[in-house]
Amino acid sequence: MRKVLLLALVAVVVAGAVIASGCAQTPKDATAPTDTSTPGSTEETPQFTTLESGKLIVASDCDYPPFIAMEGEQPTGFEYELLQAIGKEMGLTIEYLSPQNFDTILAGVDQGTKMDIGVSSFTITPERTELVDFCDPYFDSNQACVAMKDSGYSAAKDVDGKKVGSQSGTTGSEWVKENLPNATLVEYTQTSDALAALQAGKIEAAFFDEPVAAEQVKKTYTDATIIEAIPTGEQYGFAVSKKNPGLTAAVNNALKAVVENGSYNEIFQKYFDFEPTMGK
């Protein structure tokens, strides 16, 4: 038995080392600073580095319409277009990684070896701010409780004590844990899994961000509806490694420029039928 335990321990360490070496592949240009100062700009451009020079590598779960979704292998959505505009401003090409699990993106950003920036509708929270830096907010959001139209529920508190779903690692999960203590929470990797489970009757209600809920019940899950929009006033921010404050500052400058030159508003109007709170 002791031999077995010893073997198990060795296996764990080896497995850990293998995983770590897989994650820790250092990109070639990791230290090469990318000069992005545009000629004629009077504002001082913060110095920053990206993993690959000339590129901004983005991690997203790519399953959060209208913010981000995959059309075949091509990401689309509000965040995608906003990043294109920001990339243009910074002189960087935006490169999306293949869809990542939402609940692992912030840890990946913290490690800073695979992605420059995490853009997946992250609400800025004090807990997350301990792990990563957030750029300035780019969207005001809220939570929503989604149930089937024929469920008979009319408010989030009706499902306290029932089985409900959310996406793992989201503020929706946190809201349920804090506000519906008697509910059994099932956390799915993706929101579409939670919605499929809702349709299949495996859960009574699903909780996620209101703009996404509104889009999903309008376009895809038409037999479901938002039974309660929960005002939380949370704000989305891009996540950047704490080791790269220059990038945070540069993205903030670019975001400000994109808001000021009107492209933010233009992209916003394409995806939402209400007025943005930013840039006013």
Partner 1 sequence: MSASIRPISASRASRFVVLAASSLLTAALFLSVAPGTLGALTTEKTTARSNQSNGNAVIGGQPTRVTWEGRVADNEQVKALSLNLPKGSRTAGDDTVNVTVLDGLARLNVEARVVLTDERVAITFAQPVPSGMLLRIEMHDFSLPAKAGDYEMGGSYTDGAGATYDLAAPPNPIRVTGLTTVEAIINWLDRQGWVKAWNSVPFLRIFLNPQMAVAAIPTLFIGWLRSCGLVLVGFPLAIPIGLGVSFLRMAKARWIRFVSGIFVNVIRGTPLFLQIYVVFFGLPALGIRVPEYLLGILVLAVNSSAYLAEIFRAGIQSIPRGQMEAARSLGMTTPTAMFFVIIPQTVRRVIPTATSEFILLYKDTALLAAVGVMEMMMFGKSLVANTGNMTPYIIAACYYLVVTMPLARVISSFERKLAVSEGGA
Residues of this chain that bind partner 1 (CB under 8 A): 4, 7-8, 11-12, 15-16, 19-20, 103-104, 106-107, 110-111, 126-127, 131, 140, 142, 165, 168-169, 173-174, 177-179, 181, 186-189, 193, 196-197, 199-203, 210, 229, 231-233, 235, 277
CA-to-CA separations, 38 to 60, 90, 136, 268, in angstroms, rounded: 28, 8, 22, 26
Closest to partner 1 by CB, 7 or 30 = 7
- The CB-of-252 to partner 1 minimum distance in angstroms stands at 18
Q: Tell me the C-alpha distance between 123 and 16, whole Å.
A: 30
Which residues lie below 8 Å from residue 214, measured CB to CB, with a gap of 6+?
144, 226
Closest to partner 1 by CB, 11 or 37 = 11
Type of residue numbered 185: L
- The CB-of-236 to partner 1 minimum distance in angstroms stands at 12
User: In this structure, what token pair is assigned to residue 28?
Assistant: 């070639």
Closest to partner 1 by CB, 48 or 188 = 188
Q: Is residue 112 within 8 Å of 132, Cβ to Cβ?
A: no
- The CB-of-87 to partner 1 minimum distance in angstroms stands at 27
- The CB-of-198 to partner 1 minimum distance in angstroms stands at 10
- The CB-of-187 to partner 1 minimum distance in angstroms stands at 5
Cβ neighbours around 155 below 10 Å, total: 12
Closest to partner 1 by CB, 88 or 162 = 162
Closest to partner 1 by CB, 53 or 190 = 190
Closest to partner 1 by CB, 77 or 165 = 165
Q: Tell me the C-alpha distance between 257 and 263, whole Å.
A: 9
3-state secondary structure of 133: strand
- Please name which of 49, 51, 99, 38 lies closest in space to residue 73, comparing C-alpha atoms: 99
- The CB-of-12 to partner 1 minimum distance in angstroms stands at 6
